[in-house]
Amino acid sequence: MPNVKSAEKRMRQNVRRRSNNRRRRSEMRTEIKRFRQLLSDKKVDDARDVLKEVYSVIDRTAQHGVIHSNTAARYKSRLAKHLNESAS
């Protein structure tokens, strides 16, 4: 446990930030799973609509600093690649 007042504050901040980061990352992963489920069910048109929402969630996650922007770009690229493979 922290002995200094500023360390106590940092601990409170870290707990709050960790909670927010976990929530944002979980939301992102849930949306990606929803997209992949649509692809596996051969619902390409629905998946195409959901992909826009997934992009938005991924970008928001990167904007908040939960994931790096290059990681977000990699996720988006791979999801688009999966969609194009399923469409053809």
- Model pLDDT, residue 38: 95
- Domain of residue 41 covers 5-87
- Model pLDDT, residue 68: 98
**pTM, 2 dp:** 0.88
Secondary structure string (H, E, C) spanning the chain: CCCCHHHHHHHHHHHHHHHHHHHHHHHHHHHHHHHHHHHHCCCHHHHHHHHHHHHHHHHHHHHCCCCCHHHHHHHHHHHHHHHHHHHC
- Model pLDDT, residue 87: 85
- Model pLDDT, residue 9: 97
Q: What is the mean pLDDT of residues 8-13?
A: 97
Residue 17 belongs to domain with CATH number: 1.20.58.110
Q: Which amino acid is at 15?
A: V
Domain count of the fold of the chain: 1
Contact 71, 58 (CB under 8 A): no
Give 12-70 pLDDT, tens digit per residue.
Answer: 999 999 999 999 999 999 999 999 999 999 999 999 999 999 999 999 999 999 999 99
